[in-house]
Each structure stands twice: as C-alpha cells, then as structure tokens.
Amino acid sequence: MKRIEKAQEVSKILSRIYKKVPIPLSHKNKFELVVAVLLSAQCTDERVNQVTPTLFKKANSALKMTKVPKKTIYNIIRPCGLAPQKSKAIFELSRILVKKFKGKVPESFEELEKLPGVGHKTASVVMSQGFGHQAFPVDTHIHRLAQRWGLTNGKNVVQTEKDLKHLFPKKSWNKLHLQIIFYGREFCQARSCYGLECEICRVCNPKRKTPIKTKK
C-alpha cells in the first residue's frame, strides 16, 4: 500500500471515530493558550489543565503576568515539570508581549517562535487553535504514530511534519492533528500496540509481524 493510500485509510478511520474533537488544553484567550501549550512540554494535558486555573486566576494576560513574581509562577506550575525553565519563559514572554506587541499574542510563526519557550510546535498549535490558520503541529506522539502507520520515514519531527502536510489536504490539518492525538491516547499508545494491534496499524500494514521500533 502506498503512503497516499495509507493516508486515505487513516482519514476514513479517524473521521468515523472522531466526528468532533475538543481542544485538549483549557484556555479563554490566546495568551492563556500560549502559556498552556508551553506548560504541556513533557507533561500531560490533564496535569496542565489542573494547574492553569490557579495560574490564570492570578494572571490571565501578559500585562498581569509581568506583575506576578517568578517564584510564585514557579510554585504554581511545579507539578508540570521543568518548572525553572518554564516559569522563566512565561515571565519573559509576557514581558516581551507587553513591550513589543501591546500585550497581544502575535499572529505569525516568525514572531511566535522568537518568544522564550515557544518552539515551532507550540507556535503551530497557537496558529491553529488560537487564530484558526491551517497548521500541522507535530509532537513526539504524532511523530511516533506517523512512523507506525508508514506515513513517514521518521527521520525527525521536521520531516514528519513535511510528509504529513504533503499527504493530507490542507483544509483537514487542524482537525486531523487533534484526531491523531486522541486516537493515539485511546488505541495506539506508546507502550502498547507497537504497530501491530490497533485498527489503523492493521489496515496500513496488514503483513507486519514484528513490533516496529520508532525513531525519536
């Protein structure tokens, strides 16, 4: 089966299972979204959603966040891991947003990726879920699943994003990346399936007999 045929099968299955997909990270504005996505690095969305209500009660805008001591931010977000780096990044990006953008989150990949703690994946999520632009955020989970399903060679996340954008219609990207995340959590988890058990793995690679080792 060719990659494009696998992509078509993946789309069919995901569309059947997930007709609607909620936004995983709770937020009420674009600033909250940036902070929530930043906190989600090496942390579950569930944990982030437990922490952010306390943080956003203190500061739900860049201007308000610059008035919260870094130590306070650190203490609140500690459960998310990497608290020293994340608390510093949250404070500094808030300061930059106030100074350069009048407190607003910029609507461009270039400006977003210049912010502390904001890489390409985070910027893609903000552009997609915050501004509605078609983007295909690829995290380690999507990178792993794309390899299991034979949609990429798995060289790196940059190549995986490029391959997925080539295989799927642009109008589907925003919904599709969420569908893949939800499917992975429910049916094709990191420490199970291994490319052998779930519906998509079986449809895309029916002759596979041994577990697939994915590249990081």
From 139, 135, 117, 115, select the one nearest 127 (Cα to Cα).
Answer: 135
Cα–Cα separations (whole angstroms), residue 154 to 40, 56, 94, 170, 211: 22, 37, 35, 21, 15
Domain 3-21+136-204 falls under CATH 1.10.1670.10? yes
Question: Which residue intervals of the chain bear CATH 1.10.340.30?
Answer: 30-130
Distance, CA of 204 to CA of 25 (rounded, Å)? 30
163 is known as an active-site residue = no
Which 3 state secondary structure label does DSSP give 105?
coil
Q: What pLDDT does 213 receive? A: 86
Residues 1-33: pLDDT tens digits?
899 999 999 999 999 999 999 999 999 999 999
139 is known as an active-site residue = yes
Q: What pLDDT does 215 receive? A: 83
pTM over 0.75: yes
CATH architecture group of domain 30-130:
Orthogonal Bundle (1.10)
The end-to-end CA distance of the chain, in Å, is 24
Residue with tokens 């429910």: 186
Residues 166-202: pLDDT tens digits?
999 999 999 999 999 999 999 999 999 999 999 999 9
- Name the active-site residue from 121, 163, 171, 213: 121
Residue with tokens 């990659």: 3
Q: What pLDDT does 155 receive? A: 84
Residues 60-114: pLDDT tens digits?
999 999 999 999 999 999 999 999 999 999 999 999 999 999 999 999 999 999 9
